[in-house]
Structure 1
Amino acid sequence: MHNSRSTTRSLVAATGVLCLALTGCAGAGSLGASDQTVTIAMVSNSQMQDAQQLSSQFEAENPDIDLRFVTLSENQARAKITASTAMGGGEFDVVMISNYETPQWAEYGWLTNLTPYIEATEGYDQDDFIPSIREALSYNGDMYSVPFYGESSFLMYRRDLFEEAGITLSDPPTWTEVADAAAQLDSPDMNGICLRGKPGWGELLAPLDTVINTFGGRWFDEDWNAQLDSPEVQRAVQFYVDLVREHGQPGPATSGFSECATQLAQGRVAMWYDSTAAVSTLEDPSSSNVVGKIGYAAAPVEIKAPSGWLYSWSLGIPASSTNADAAWKFISWMTDKEYMRTVGEAYGWDRVPPGSRLSTYEIPEYAEASAAYGPITLESIQSADQSDPTVDPVPYTGIQFVAIPEFQDLGTRVSQQISAAIAGRQTVAEALDQAQLYAEAVGATYREDR
């Protein structure tokens, strides 16, 4: 077992550096917050923006609590929230984190145990959370964050183009079928597929890690020996790089989730493999030209099935918060059953945060609106098992990430090497040789602590 105290010390040191680079790490006093002000750090995604707009309803029902939102881009939010929580600065009462951070931070004592709050809140019903999501946000059987929305990954494809070309897919499709379809549909006016190539452990590596897993690869063996230069990983990464270079979107090395969403929504690509949360863009007439034309299929497989990832944006309370009771009131409002109906009635049922509660899929209006993608989203999330992500055994959990603190840095550096291969600046073999060295350095520290 890795030495958690030494890991915590290294994280605190690292976040201390981040704190110098980011404003607002001085503590609650610098924000001018009162005892009844709940300060919420959240990612500026569309579902979170809806929550902020609806929060006046919460304040009307709780006139003694004022809400203060700090909204940041995903990369900024990760850095700032990690720095603040690790340093115990107390500037945030609610933080938006994920199933990557939650179990680790719970182990370090950085988060408040939410199970006592959950059990004391009438009608909150934690058993209504999708089990795979609930377990991913738990530590030693207790929940330390609760899901705002959950996601897996699937293949999105232009159903009309597939029908015209006579292309059919297996259930689940294979990556060979996907590559063949991309080649067949690729033309001067339409690229065959969009895949992320932008560096980042939460960008390129999210889809690519699922490809590595299903091709039989892994980051480390059971003894923490790095495996990024193994034949399985080599084959998976070469496949991914070749596919996006030969039949993918323009500028693939700079394309992330947002860029691919735009490509498919504007009718420029025939397929996209990515997050199930993409439907909020693809099925919204205000942002998409292909509403009603998209088919949805399970994450493609090679050897291991299922291969979809598991992720949740969730809400937790830092242990340093002095307003935990008020913070929980807000969290429970934003994540309960009634909130889903509030969003649907206010903004439309395609805007409801998906993938957190089973009861969401039983709302008749939502079931009708999400008929094309709701059932497969739920099935994909339910079947994802982050404790069994690979063909061969591994000492870590996580599907599209390795659930160790070092992965934020390790994954980003590895992704930079592979993105350079996508850009044509080096070969896949060269990229993975360097990636192997990075991973070996991390694996060695875990072997020392065994």
Structure 2
Amino acid sequence: MTGSENGLNVGRRSLLTGAAGLLGAAALPTTAARAEAGSLGRYPSNWPDPEPYGLADTRPDLWPREDNSFVLPLEPRPRDKELGRVWMRDTYVNCFTVGGRPLYVATGTTRVPGLEGAGPWNDGIFVWVARSLRGPWRLADTTGIRPGAEKGKVWSPEFAAENRPGRVVVAPWQEYWQDDRFGKRGQAWAPEVHYFRGKWYIVACMGDHSRKVGSFMLVSEGGVEGPYRLVEGNHDKPFGDPFIGGPNFIEPGAYHHIDGSLYSEGHDAWLVLHNHVYAKFRDDMEDIIPATGLPKFQQTPYSPEPYLEGAYVFKHGGKYYLLHAAWDRTSANPDGSTRYAYDPAGPGRVQYQYDAVVAVSDRFEGPYSERWTLGVGAGHNNIFTDHTGGLWATFFRNPNFGHWSDPSRIADSAVAGVVRLEWTGPQRHRLYVQRRNNGHTAPPPIR
């Protein structure tokens, strides 16, 4: 979650009807109003939101499609040959300027040979790099750090033997362990790579099958390839406080805030966590302030609020965007039609798409506007700016439930995908997956 200075603002639902906004501005008899209307005309329109608040926007224009997205051609590892591509969840991509040149990085949750998913264990974090978004994408060259080891693997519970006095690579709570129910347990989830103040950081999460479940951060003692060590604040536990959560097989006291992310602005950086909390990093980046009792973002929740994941903050033109992953669940309306909504799980509600929803604010901590659907099936993503200033988001097509779990589609799920975004301008302040009609043509009503 690195910042980008390009432009956004908070908007209210009553002001988001694109045509009405243009007509209202044009009716004002001032030069400033005419200039504003002309400025609005250069940007695509906001779409009116489904009513009531909490319904999902499922229109095809908000899907990643062949005309607005593609799957990154990541260099395969030996384990990827059977599938023919890299299997990935929680895809993360970013672009940094290093040595005066753009450097793209990609990472995500991957699996080991022989397992269908990333649990009950996986073998850590892989990183790919490229000079262009289109590639070629190469595994980070880790051969100088671990000759003979699998290329591109920058951190793993396997690296516990590298611990030395004063240098922790893998904490005891991150190591593999065994039980009678699952056998080998422990996995790294949802990694992000960041370049901040001339150093490389990885924020990631130990997943549900780990001794302790929650977010941690690594810092490189070299380049993007490492070697990485664990920051001091995670030597004994994940970031934040433990609380009740996750599947019933997680031991009491083990569950912490998952899906950690990093937002930086100027000389400062913040940790952003699942369940909508955040904390500023210490100046030395070795821990957060406060270490416990973290503050919460000021949001406009749904009613009732469902389970949300993948909290992420992106700055664009001085405004802040807070993203979440939310399941769009289908159910039946009283008239028999299908209801698509960000409802909590419940009887008669079926998981359909894992969407990206977003809200906007003038301040990092909020208050944030009502959320809207940024992308259908694009949940648990990040937004980044390419080296030309273009805006993109990632997606991965969730294979666990819903649309992409169908046997006819499962082969196209769990991908390292990127989709182009469009911005509706400095007055409308919205981001969407790039739509076919660019928002200028009135879409059909939502039902």
TM-score, normalized by the shorter chain, greater than 0.5: no
Larger relative strand fraction: 2
Normalising by structure 2, we get a TM-score of 0.24
Normalising by structure 1, we get a TM-score of 0.24
Per chain length, whose mean CA-contact separation is higher, i.e. which structure has more relative contact order (CA < 8 Å, sep 6+)? Answer: 1
